[in-house]
Structure 1
């Protein structure tokens, strides 16, 4: 089970429930892959709705790797994600929000 207090978010990929978490290493990898100038720029990109499907895919892949998954974004691109593109975008937004939430903020299941 995903622990929202630890910044974890669940995602069902190919009918397997997985836990995502943005570790510092996953965030650094994500910054580089997305060409973001900073973590703040990355968050602002998602908050403003200026993200692309590639951004969501890379964010989910980084979160999955932070949760112990050994796959790559290319593997995830071929996978079936529960909820389709909308479910993937929601999970990505929740993952990003939980990674930067202060204690006591936005840790409830189902959204921030």
Structure 2
């Protein structure tokens, strides 16, 4: 089960639920793969809708690895995603939002 307070989301692949999380290592991997120089540019790229299917695949793959899944980008590309591409995009957006959300409550 994903913990949204820890920046985790779930995605169903080939009938199995997987937890995604953008760890620091996953973010560094994503920056390098997508050619973004900083995290703000990376987030803005997705928020502005300037992302491709390849970008989406890279984000989900990084999140899966950050969540502990041992799945390659190629395996993810071949996987059956429950809810299809639109669900994949929703999960990616939620993953970014939770990863960069300001903490609520105390300091």
Per-residue deviation, residues 57-77 of structure 1 (Å, max 9, x unmatched): 010000000010111111100
Query: How far 1:104 moved relative to its partner?
Result: 2.2
Q: Distance in 2 between matches of 1:97 and 1:28?
A: 17
Corresponding residue number in structure 2 for 1:10: 10
Gaps of 5+ in 1: 106-112
TM-score by length of 1: 0.91
**Pairwise mapping of residues 37-76 of structure 1 onto structure 2 (< 5 A)?**
37-76=37-76
Per-residue deviation, residues 79-111 of structure 1 (Å, max 9, x unmatched): 011110100011001001111111129xxxxxx
Q: Distance in 2 between matches of 1:12 and 1:79?
A: 10
Q: Distance in 2 between matches of 1:72 and 1:91?
A: 18
Q: Distance in 2 between matches of 1:85 and 1:29?
A: 22
Taking only aligned residues, the RMSD between alpha carbons, in angstroms, comes to 1.1
Corresponding residue number in structure 1 for 2:103: 103
Q: Distance in 2 between matches of 1:99 and 1:78?
A: 26
